[in-house]
Each structure stands twice: as structure tokens, then as C-alpha cells.
Structure 1
Amino acid sequence: MVDYADPQWSSARLSDREREDAVQRLSVARGEGRLTPEEFEARARSARAAVTRGELDPLFSDLPVAAAPRYDAGQGAPASVAAPESRTPRVRPLGGPIGATIMALVPFIAVLLFFLAGYWGSFAWSWLWFLLVPLAGIIIYGPAAEYRSRDKR
């Protein structure tokens, strides 16, 4: 989640939905008695005219965190204020749950192949089976996972 004061997202352009959500949050602050009607009108005009998230920061800087809107970095949709802060995007493995299960089993398969190759052949080269772990990780959670996570939302 990203708030308006976050320098990483301050230059991000606002959507109409985000502007209206900001006005709604200002309305909540007015209803709680934190803003006078005149302050609310001035801030609401500024929120409707804002182009970037950084322009909304001064409108909420003196209000409690509960009144300040926060947005999910991935979609820009309003998110629960009580939700924990997380900037890690959700990554979808290749094959979904089956791919995740395969990735979980790969280390055990590598150990099994290590011992089988070592007993039937030589332990000198059997360690190469452990390269299956990063190889499977690259294939299952590799660079394309970012595109898969965007497409499925």
C-alpha cells in the first residue's frame, strides 16, 4: 500500500476514482469534526483538481492516518487502512498451484537423485542434481511471473 506522502508514488497520476475517494475521505474527516465546512470545500476543490498523488499529500498531512487514503501499489484501488503494509507484488507460479507444488518437491527430488547417482555412480558429480532447485525456480517463478500476476488480477 502506498500513501500520498510516499516519494516513490508522489508523481503517479491520479485516476478519477482516486480523486473521488480523496474527496470522500475528506468528507469523513468533516463528519468527524476535523475540518470546518470552509476547509472541506477548499480541500475538496484541490482534490478534484489534483493531477498526481503528491498534490493530495498536503490535503491529508494534518489529518490522522485513518482519514488519509491509502492505495494498493499494484492497482491504485482503495485498500483497507487496517491492512498490513506490503510492497511485495503477488507472484503467480507457472502452472498455478501445481507449479508451486512441483517447486516445493524439487529439493526432495534433488536429494533423492543425489544419493541414487552417488551410490550407482560416483558422488563426485552427483552434486549437480542440486542445480535442479534454482533451475526449477527460474522456470516456475522466473521473469514471466510478473506478467502472469498482472494478467490474472
Structure 2
Amino acid sequence: MSGYADPERSQERLSDAEREEAVGHLMTAQAEGRLTTAELAERSASARSAVTRGDLAPLFADLPGAASRPAAPTVSEPPPTWAPVPEPTAPMGRRSRALGGRVGDTLMALSPFVALLLFFGFGFWTPGGFTWSWLFFFLIPIAGIIIYGGGSATEKNR
């Protein structure tokens, strides 16, 4: 007898893996129709709180094959082998969606400052003052639409 009901091993303490394997066996018994959902819940809670192998024996006493069920695998599996991660290749350089590439990115970044300079410049030195100079802030979204709106030729082919 090498299972849960083995009297020679009934005082051995259980590992977490052995408890979870016992719960797995109980789930198999429930899938076979030997346990109801309520019985599975009750026995699973008992299995997870079991301390020794002898504590698991009553949980399997009325199930067929309980005496021969192992509590833990007898053959340990070899550790998994991991494939090495390939080295990243050198980047081809940052590609920009902007019309004109990096120049377009730079122009877009500078557009708020240009709008601010035009706002103050025309606000102070024109007869109407700041009445209409706020319209220069529309240059920011207009620049964005012109620079980024069309996309690039490689994007259209995708």
C-alpha cells in the first residue's frame, strides 16, 4: 500500500503539492460522478487543511482505488529547459509618422511656441490688441493635421 491509507506512512507530514494533488484526485472523483459538488467542497477544504497523510485517508475511504492512490508523484520530473532569448538586433532608427520624418516632429513640437509668439506679437503691436490674436492658437491643431494627418506611404501599404 503506497497511498493515503498506508499505516506505515500515516504520520508523515504533507507538502502543499501533496495537498493540491489530493484535491485534484477529489475533483476527478467528482467528474466521474462519485462525489456531489457539496461533498467535493467539504472534502477539498479538509484536504487543504490536512497535516499528515493519515488525515487524508478518511477522505478517500469510500472511493474506489483510494488505497493505491499516491499522495505525491514517485518520479520527479526534470526541470524545464528554456530556450535562450535571442539578442535584440540593432534598431533601424526611429521611424516617425510625421510628414517629413524628424523635421515634421520638430516642427510640431515648436508650433505651440510659434503660436504664443504670434499671439503676443500681434496682441501688443496691432491696433485691435488681443481681440483677434488668440486665433493664432489654431495653428497648433492645423499643424498637427498637416504633419500627421496624411500618414506615411508605408502606412498606407500595410
Q: Which has the larger radius of gyration?
A: 2
Structure with higher helix content:
1
